[in-house]
Amino acid sequence: MNAPAYNFAYLDEQTKRMIRRAILKAIAIPGYQVPFASREMPMPYGWGTGGVQVTASVLGPDDVLKVIDQGSDDTTNAVSIRKFFAKTAGVRTTTHTTDATLIQTRHRIPETPLTENQILVYQVPIPEPLRFLEPRETETRRLHALADYGLMHVKLYEDIARHGHIATTYAYPVKVDGRYVMDPSPTPKFDNPKMDDCAALQLFGAGREKRIYAIPPHTRVVSLDFEDHPFEASRTPESCALCRADDTFLDEVITDDKGGRLFVCSDSDHCEKRRGAETAA
Amino acid sequence: MYVAVKGGERAIDNAHKLLAAARRGDPAVPELTLAQISEQLALAVDRVMAEGSLYDRELAALAVKQARGDLIEAIFLVRAYRTTLPRFGASEPIDTGAMQTRRRISAAFKDLPGGQVLGPTFDYTHRLLDTGLAEGGDAPAPATAPAEPTAMPRVTDLLAEDGLIETFPPGDPAAPVGDLTRAPLTFPAGRDLRLQNLARGDEGFLLALGYSTQRGYGRTHPFAGEIRLGEVEVEFMAEEVGFAVPLGRITVTECQMINQFRGSATEPPQFTRGYGLTFGHGERKAMAMALVDRALRARDLGEERKAPAQDEEFVLSHSDNVQATGFVEHLKLPHYVDFQAELGLIRRMRAEIAAGEDARKEAAE
């Protein structure tokens, strides 16, 4: 039997070059979905294969990697991906946002503002913001080419007409650099403003759908809205039971079967840091 | 609560240990060897090789063992290994006309050059559970006859000689061979990429789609022109020596469907083709593939397209079971950030409606 042997960060160098070319193109055309020859990864499609391929392609031996899922470093899939890179690339890993040079995320943007020395890699399930309005790829590509986003505006308008609100709470569509409408991945819309003028490079990888897109540092990212219904970065109006923060995105934890519940920061590193500062003071 | 507390890492390690123990099962029962899987669960190994796109019986048997018999999981294991292998190039086209056949049947002609050869098939077995098999024991020796090396031309080639079936222009040998594992699939896709996609596609998905064409959703009036199973030589053009060198022999199953004829103002009526090919012995898959290939040719043939099996984007985007299983099963991953956002909105909307009702009641009183 031929015993398998694997390269640094799993992917072979040829594949990494192909992915880096796609990333460069994505950076050159902010918000545009670049098709790339996504590989089968040793974890299932839908579990972050796009993000993992992007991370594997930009990761160097000196990088410090942080992986979060739902804002937390200790979520099972975040643990699994962190271990994957610790094993295949031998890079240093961290849970501290400020120590990381590369952060791979699923569904959240860290509460701590990112810097120009950092790259944020998003795992993306469905990269096409128009997909649930138009299932055909041939058609959505044409709509993007023509910057024809009427469908999306009508959808948002119909939400307001029906519910009094835009009924999209996550994966809330944004317009990047005044041109492409982009899916921010299923992050809560609370996180959308963090994408705008962000100092870090933001890369998005969709493995199963074979697309990469990017937001270069300090790019204008605007959440779609209407003048009379401006975008609102909503959060649960509670404060964290652990660190008492009242400006972070919260997870709701059900504590008993009698309606008891408490709220804690979804960003576990941010929460711990605040609690650490408290004890020190 | 499996994430709100620390310990995800230890939980994963322990889950893996438990899985390994569950895979082994009762240690008092002898462990399966790869040779046993390869020999006695041969069709499972064939399916894993076909949909895993890697012709290696030993690795496929290992994958079946590691996956505890879950074939889609085994296919996934093989794919994830295959993708790391370097590509040297594309082989020369295999010649199934020169196949050493173990089975060859045609439903279109009663007899034909080379004859009908039933081979190892379930087809005419009565599906009665064989309790004797539970006991084990030696299988009866197969019947033998002296080998008669007779040519076994393909049925479609015989029909093509008379111009009764559409011919395909011989492919340009210098043209690059499409490979959807190396370049993202775009639409419309060429037939080479469509066939590659179907060859890797899930047997169950293609079976259901092929079946749907038989029930009127994109009907193509198929005849099983020929199904053949056997060994073919794989050759690779070696630039250094300037000729094709044999790499080895592989087992394949080929199905050529002969479909509804059509004609136009300029062309007399002809039968059309649907093609299916799998690694190993995979008749059901090869036949389903041939039906779906033909259905997908609707646009090329100027037919009306309204059934799912004729919809290229629909079929090619959903045929891959490794992609499908990953995305369906990713719903197991935590989604509570998104759910929290939805929860917040629905609570707010319900509160607004309740407030509206209260206001109406007050106004009425």
Q: Are strands A64-69 and A34-35 parallel, antiparallel or unpaired?
A: unpaired
Q: Are strands A201-206 and A211-215 parallel, antiparallel or unpaired?
A: antiparallel
Q: How far apart are CA B270 and CA B290, in angstroms?
A: 18
Residue pair B115/B145 in contact by the 8 Å Cβ criterion? no
Check CB contact of A80 with chain B, cutoff 8 Å.
yes
- β-bridge partners, A35: A211
Check CB contact of B346 with chain A, cutoff 8 Å.
no
* Lookup: tokens for A240: 């964290």
pLDDT in the model for residue A2? 58
- Told to judge if A71 belongs to the known catalytic residues of this protein, a careful annotator would answer no
* Lookup: tokens for B153: 């031309």
CA distance B355 to chain A (A): 14
* Lookup: tokens for A164: 């009094």
- Is B8's CB within 8 Å of A74's CB? yes
Instruction: Give contacts of B 158-197 with A, CB under 8 A.
Output: 181-188
Length of chain A: 281
| pLDDT category of residue B3 using cuts at 50, 70 and 90 | very low
- Is A266's CB within 8 Å of B58's CB? no
- Nearest chain B alpha carbon to A45: B326
- Is B340's CB within 8 Å of A251's CB? yes
- Is A79's CB within 8 Å of B330's CB? no
**Percent above pLDDT 70 for chain B:** 97
In the set A31, A50, A51, A207, the catalytic residue is A31
pLDDT in the model for residue B267? 74
Length of chain B: 365
Which tens digit of pLDDT belongs to each residue from A52-73?
A: 999 999 999 999 999 999 999 9
Q: Which of A215, A250, A273, A277 is nearest to A108 (CA)?
A: A250
- Is A169's CB within 8 Å of B342's CB? yes
Which tens digit of pLDDT belongs to each residue from B31-64?
A: 999 999 999 999 999 999 999 999 999 999 999 9
Residue pair A187/A171 in contact by the 8 Å Cβ criterion? yes
Q: Which of B266, B254, B259 is nearest to B297 (CA)?
A: B259
* Lookup: tokens for B292: 């779906």
- Told to judge if A198 belongs to the known catalytic residues of this protein, a careful annotator would answer no
Please provide the average confidence, as pLDDT, over all residues in chain B: 91
| pLDDT category of residue B1 using cuts at 50, 70 and 90 | very low
Check CB contact of B83 with chain A, cutoff 8 Å.
yes
Whole-complex ipTM = 0.85
Which tens digit of pLDDT belongs to each residue from B88-107?
A: 888 999 999 999 999 999 99
Alpha helices in A59-191 (DSSP H): 76-88, 137-145, 150-163
- Is B348's CB within 8 Å of A125's CB? no
Instruction: Give contacts of B 227-256 with A, CB under 8 A.
Output: none
Per-residue pLDDT of chain A (281 residues; tens, 9 = 90+): 555 667 899 999 999 999 999 999 999 999 999 999 999 899 999 999 999 999 999 999 999 999 999 999 988 899 999 999 999 999 999 999 999 999 999 999 999 999 999 999 999 999 999 999 999 999 999 999 999 999 999 999 999 999 888 989 999 999 999 999 999 999 999 999 999 999 999 999 999 999 999 999 999 999 999 999 999 998 888 999 999 999 999 999 888 888 888 999 999 999 999 998 877 66
pLDDT in the model for residue B10? 85
pLDDT in the model for residue B175? 80
Check CB contact of A125 with chain B, cutoff 8 Å.
yes
For B264, half-sphere exposure in the C-beta direction (CA atoms, 13 angstrom radius) is 6
- Told to judge if A240 belongs to the known catalytic residues of this protein, a careful annotator would answer yes
Classified as helix, coil or strand, A116 is: coil
Positive or negative, the CA dihedral A261, A263, A269, A275 is negative
Check CB contact of B322 with chain A, cutoff 8 Å.
yes
pLDDT in the model for residue B17? 96
pLDDT in the model for residue A192? 97
Residue scoring higher pLDDT (B294 or B6): B294
Check CB contact of A77 with chain B, cutoff 8 Å.
yes
* Lookup: tokens for B109: 């002609």
Q: Which of B314, B340, B343, B346 to mutate to test the interface with A (most CBs of A within 10 A)?
A: B340
A–B interface: beta-carbon pairs under 8 A: 154
Check CB contact of A12 with chain B, cutoff 8 Å.
yes
Which residue is associated with the tokens 């993306």?
A: A124
Q: Which of B178, B184, B207 is nearest to B315 (CA)?
A: B207
Q: Which of A78, A81, A68 is nearest to A111 (CA)?
A: A68
* Lookup: tokens for B36: 């046993």
In the set A51, A71, A205, A240, the catalytic residue is A240
- Is A1's CB within 8 Å of B313's CB? no
- Is B1's CB within 8 Å of A80's CB? no
- Is A75's CB within 8 Å of B338's CB? no
- Nearest chain A alpha carbon to B87: A14
- Is B337's CB within 8 Å of A76's CB? no
CA distance B161 to chain A (A): 39
Q: Which of A11, A38, A138 sits opposite B313 (nearest CB)?
A: A138
Q: Using a CB-CB distance cutoff of 8 angstroms, which residues of chain A are in contact with residue B82?
A: 40
Which tens digit of pLDDT belongs to each residue from B108-164?
A: 999 889 899 999 999 999 999 988 898 888 888 999 888 777 889 999 999 998 889
Q: How far apart are CA A175 and CA B173, in angstroms?
A: 46
Q: How far apart are CA A143 and CA B212, in angstroms?
A: 32
- β-bridge partners, A104: A67, A121
Q: Which of B187, B323, B345 sits opposite A45 (nearest CB)?
A: B323
pLDDT in the model for residue B5? 46
Which tens digit of pLDDT belongs to each residue from B323-365?
A: 999 999 999 998 988 899 899 889 988 998 899 888 888 888 7
Residue B293's H or E segment, with its range, is: helix B283-296
CA distance B136 to chain A (A): 30
Query: In terms of C-beta density within 10 A (0-12 exposed, 13-18 middle, 19 or more buried), how is residue B209 classed?
Result: buried
Residue scoring higher pLDDT (B85 or A64): A64
CA distance A159 to chain B (A): 12
Alpha helices in chain B (DSSP H): 8-24, 34-40, 42-52, 57-66, 71-82, 131-135, 155-161, 191-200, 203-214, 283-296, 312-318, 321-329, 336-364
